[in-house]
Amino acid sequence: MKTKILSGILMAFLASVPQVLTAQWNMVRFDEYNNFNKAFTASPQTAFVGGTNMTGPGSFLLRTNDGGTTWDSINFSTSLATTNLYHMSFTDVNNGFIGGINNNNQILMSTTDNGSTWNTITPDPSSSLPIISISFINQLEGFASNESEIFKTTDGGVTWVANPSPLIVNTIAFTDMFTGFAGGTTGTLASVFKTTDGGQTWSNLIATTNAQSFVNAMKKLDVINSNVIYSSLEYSNKIFKTSNSGLTWDTISISPINTLQDFDFINATDGHALSSMGEIYGTTDGGLTWNFEYAVSGGVYGPSVFLSSLSFSGTTGYVCGTSGLIKKFTDGTTGMTNGNSILEQVTLFPNPTAKGNEISMSGMEGNYTIEIVNSVGQLVVKQDLYAEGSNSVHKIMPILSSGIYSVSLFNGHECEILKLVVY
């Protein structure tokens, strides 16, 4: 029986060579030290990741403008060394906002130069309630909220108008300066409200409970347009979706996961979901079905590495977590190589191979990171290599278990995946 199974594996493998998988999550940073808890993708090349200081209170921000190849630390003023970051949002690669609390006082800041400098535009500096959600339409017009008030500005935060919130707010999202949505808790119910007059009045769209938790709250809103809205129920695997501006709602249960940590839809049908256990799933049919993409499991990056936040711009996304881990998703198709890749000459041998055998790779030149992932998404080998020339041969750590593996090869500019069969 074992011989038949292995023959089937080999036939499937040989029938698919050469094949490149270009839709995947690739590691772009892992410093084993920092804790990252917020990600925002402003464009496929520009992303920001927020973290908490390991040596004391406060937050910091990292930035990439080259698709994750390099990251630089953004330095705030000395007074912000104790700021705890709750939310950030960018309208483009240059204009963005971060909010939270600093020394027990509310704070909101803005940038117009890609995060290089920041200005304080706090709506209520005397308040002890942090800014927890931000939704700007453009550089000048937008909204920010604490748990009890929603603030509106039309001059980039020079002046603000405060309106009381109809619920305990977790999240807000506006499509323009009149139409917006707020999610959170009303009484004992998880709720979503809608305004059509810029936050002066609100109507309740949905109120529900979580049978698996004593906490009932909507955690996040993702407003695709004024009609299509997604909202996640805290401490559950459920997302609620409306396609008619809240008149009716469909309940989406992401059955592969237990608890949803974060999610992001790039349009009405395509989205990604992150579980509290570090699993990432994708959908292309509005949440009807979900496909496994990646999991940080089994302690492959250390004994306690967790993913916290993901964010997409188009089909490119970033996810961040503890121990300084950042991964990048690039979309594409599955098919034959087109002959344009600089990695097309890479060879992995012997392939297939017996478990425990040494594996070699040739055809590379320069610096590379190699990740080998098993069929359930666990990272089993990670290795950094430098090849002086394409004729160099490099040894890879042996695989100790039978199966089909994905070997990711990343040089900072492109990435390819090769299949490896271990019997």
- Is residue 283 located within the same domain as residue 356? no
In the listed set 332, 348, 368, which residue is the last one of a domain according to the structure? 332
pLDDT above 80 for 78: no
Q: Which residues pair with 240 in a beta bridge?
A: 231, 251
Residue 297: pLDDT band (50, 70, 90) is low
Residue 380: pLDDT band (50, 70, 90) is confident
- Is residue 8 located within the same domain as residue 44? no
Residue 210: pLDDT band (50, 70, 90) is confident
Q: What is the pTM of this model?
A: 0.74
- Is residue 68 located within the same domain as residue 209? yes
Per-chain mean pLDDT for the chain: 83
Residue with the larger pLDDT of the pair 413 and 391: 391
Of 291, 293, 295, nearest to 276 by C-alpha is: 295
- Is residue 94 located within the same domain as residue 231? yes
* pLDDT tens per residue across span 143-162: 999 999 999 999 999 999 99
> How many domains does the chain divide into?
2
* pLDDT tens per residue across span 214-257: 778 999 999 999 899 999 999 999 999 999 999 999 999 998 89
Residue with the larger pLDDT of the pair 290 and 26: 290
* pLDDT tens per residue across span 409-423: 766 555 566 678 888
> Which residues, at least 6 apart from 270, have a Cβ–Cβ distance to it below 8 Å?
282, 283, 284, 315
Residue with the larger pLDDT of the pair 189 and 25: 189
- Is residue 270 located within the same domain as residue 387? no
- Give ∠ CA 322-325-326 in degrees, rounded to 5: 125
Of 290, 210, 283, 208, nearest to 246 by C-alpha is: 208
Find the domain containing 132 and state its range: 25-332
* Residue 209 amino acid letter: T
CATH code, domain carrying 399: 2.60.40.10
CATH code, domain carrying 52: 2.130.10.10
pLDDT above 80 for 137: yes
- Mean pLDDT (whole number) for 71-88: 75
In the listed set 315, 332, 349, which residue is the last one of a domain according to the structure? 332
Q: Compute the radius of gyration of the chain from its Cα atoms.
A: 23
The answer to whether 68 and 97 are in contact (CB under 8 A) is no
- Is residue 196 located within the same domain as residue 47? yes
- Mean pLDDT (whole number) for 264-270: 96
| Confidence (pLDDT) at 214 | 73
- Is residue 413 located within the same domain as residue 274? no
Q: CB-hemisphere CA count at 13 Å for 395? A: 5
Lowest mean pLDDT among 30-39, 266-275, 286-295: 30-39
Residue 39: pLDDT band (50, 70, 90) is very high
- Is residue 192 located within the same domain as residue 294? yes
